[in-house]
Amino acid sequence: MPVPEARRKTQLSRQQYLDLYYYMRLNREVEETMTKLFRQNKIVGGLYSSLGQEGISVGSAYALEKKDWMAPMIRNIGALLVKGVPPRDIFTQHMAKFTSPTKGKDGTSHFGDLQNLHIVSPISMLGDLIPVMTGVAMAGRYLGQNIVAMTWIGDGGSSTGVFHEGLNLAASQRAPFVLILENNLWAYSTPVRRQVPLDNLADRAKAYGIQSYSIDGNDVVEVYNTTKEAVDKARAGDGPILIEAKSFRRRGHAQHDPAEYVPPAQREYWEKRDPIALYETFLFKQKLLDAKGKKEIEDKISGLLEKEREFAENSPMPPAETVSEGVYCTGDDCHKIAADWQRPVAEVMPPKSNVDPVWTVKGFGSGKNASRENAPIHFGDTPSVENSNTDKVPTAKKLAGEPPRAKGRG
């Protein structure tokens, strides 16, 4: 449902309207630059396009505050830009350069920024970010930070088990969490109608008793207004909210996919509804933008991207001797992740427990080291008595109150 223009105009300041335009144009230009780099064989990994879906990434991320958290998926470069990621990080990341956030260890967008921008890295397994970001939302509430967490999911991803588990968890915990469901009509080559028996994917929210909206994803102002309302409600304690933004994936799944399975009439329909062209018409009509202002924005973007692309192209590939570094986290010498406690630690930890820390299972004891009634849950892996560090891993017999055997294994 299109939002009446009167309502649209009262929501944002002139600068904010222009910000939305700037970020949508920047989103498109960053991706266009990467398409060219891909064709020059300079992109190392896969390249996914959000052509025609820029209004969703930009409008939804723009509704977040600086302190809020988000986790983007492959088609959310616009959300990264709005949150403050410089284009050079996106270019260097896709080119696997040593200057990239992952120091050349990834060829797509698997990077985040936990310290400053509050971005959790994408997880490739579709839907897994839903319980993760529910956890972030709950942690923020627990720590009294008054934050909202957001992530995105596709129409295909909304059919994974973890989507439902995650949303149910968020609902039952009333987590301050907003989920944007980008219904772009295709999941790889599968049309949405062949995989979900619903007209509106927002109806999935009914199963969890949470609020939902179904909106036009090609109308950036509608995306922003709806998301802002949802973010405000979630922050106020109304629980999680699902927003289905309807759109269309204008390119193939990734660069390798010509998407010849898409009916031409469908493509034609959506190409006429380009979100940037629609928004530009709106801005001109409302006298929020004119030809001079448009040229200024275009010059700003091309100037910025030229510098950022040059930086990326001139950056070195990772030195060979760093190949094994940073693959597995080795603790503080790898990177420090420490909780940023907003309240005294003692206040947020559970009361000290006097229960033995090993989980015992009554009558479940036939492992290598278990010979009596109760066994630690990993009984097969517990060290033999003479080698065991009894402070750390009590053996089955110790737990059962038996004297340890002198030698050998059972």
- Contacted by 124, from ligand TPP, Mg ion, none: CB < 5 to 8 Å by type: ligand TPP
In angstroms, give the least distance from the CB of 365 to ligand TPP.
37
Residues 177-196 interacting with Mg ion (rule: CB under 5 A): 184, 187
Helices and strands per DSSP (H, E), number in the chain: 13, 9
In three-state secondary structure terms, 246 is: strand
Q: Is 31 in the site for ligand TPP (CB under 6 A)?
A: no
Q: Which residues contact 372 (CB under 8 A, 6 or more apart)?
A: 365, 396, 397, 400, 402
Residue number of the CB atom closest to ligand TPP: 154
Does the protein bind ligand TPP through residue 157 (CB under 6 A)? Answer: yes
Contact region for ligand TPP (CB under 6 A) — 3-11, 14-22, 155-163, 206-214? 155-163
Q: Within positions 202 to 261, which residues make up the interface with ligand TPP, using CB under 6 A?
A: 249, 253
Q: Enumerate residues 164-203 that contact ligand TPP by CB under 6 A.
A: 182, 184, 186-188
**Which of Mg ion, ligand TPP, none does 359 bind, CB closer than 5 to 8 A by kind?**
none
Minimal distance in Å, beta carbon 188 to ligand TPP?
A: 4
What are the CA-CA distances from residue 337 to residues 243, 340, 351 (Å)? 32, 9, 24
Q: For tokens 């936990």, what's the residue?
A: 114
Q: Which residues pair with 209 in a beta bridge?
A: none
Residue with tokens 């109806």: 203
Say which residues have a Cβ less than 8 Å from residue 235's Cβ, sequence separation at least 6: 146, 147, 148, 176
Edge-to-edge order in the sheet of strand 69-71: 69-71, 149-154, 177-183, 241-246, 211-216
Nearer to ligand TPP, 121 or 360 (CB): 121
How far, in Å, CA of 359 to CA of 374, rounded? 10
Please report whether residue 155 would count as binding ligand TPP according to CB under 6 A.
yes
What six digits make up the tokens of 310?
Answer: 């040059």
- Please report, to the nearest 10 degrees, the dihedral formed by the alpha carbons of residues 36, 40, 42, 43 taken in order: 50
Least Cα distance to 404 among 148, 239, 387 occurs for: 387
The entry of Mg ion, ligand TPP, none near residue 245 (CB within 5 to 8 angstroms by kind) is none
- Please choose which of Mg ion, ligand TPP, none residue 398 contacts, taking the beta carbon within 5 to 8 angstroms, the exact cut-off set by kind: none
CB atoms within 10 A of CB 367: 17
CA gap 166, 153 in Å, rounded: 12
The tokens describing 240, both together, are: 């999680």
In the complex with ligand TPP, the residue whose CB is nearer, 103 or 253, is 253
User: Which of Mg ion, ligand TPP, none lies near 208, with the C-beta cut-off 5 to 8 A by kind?
Assistant: none
Of residues 153-172, those binding Mg ion (CB under 5 A): 154-155
Q: Where does this chain touch ligand TPP (CB under 6 A) — which range of 98-106, 154-162, 273-281, 292-300? A: 154-162
- Residue 157 touches which member of ligand TPP, Mg ion, none, C-beta under 5-8 Å by kind: ligand TPP
Binding mask 112-131 for ligand TPP (x = CB under 6 A): ------------xxx-----
CB of 247 to Mg ion, least distance (A): 9
Size of site (CB under 6 A) for ligand TPP: 16
Cα–Cα distance for residue pair 124/288, rounded to 1 Å: 39
Residues of this chain that interact with ligand TPP (CB under 6 A) are 75, 124-126, 154-157, 160, 182, 184, 186-188, 249, 253
Residues of this chain that interact with Mg ion (CB under 5 A) are 154-155, 184, 187
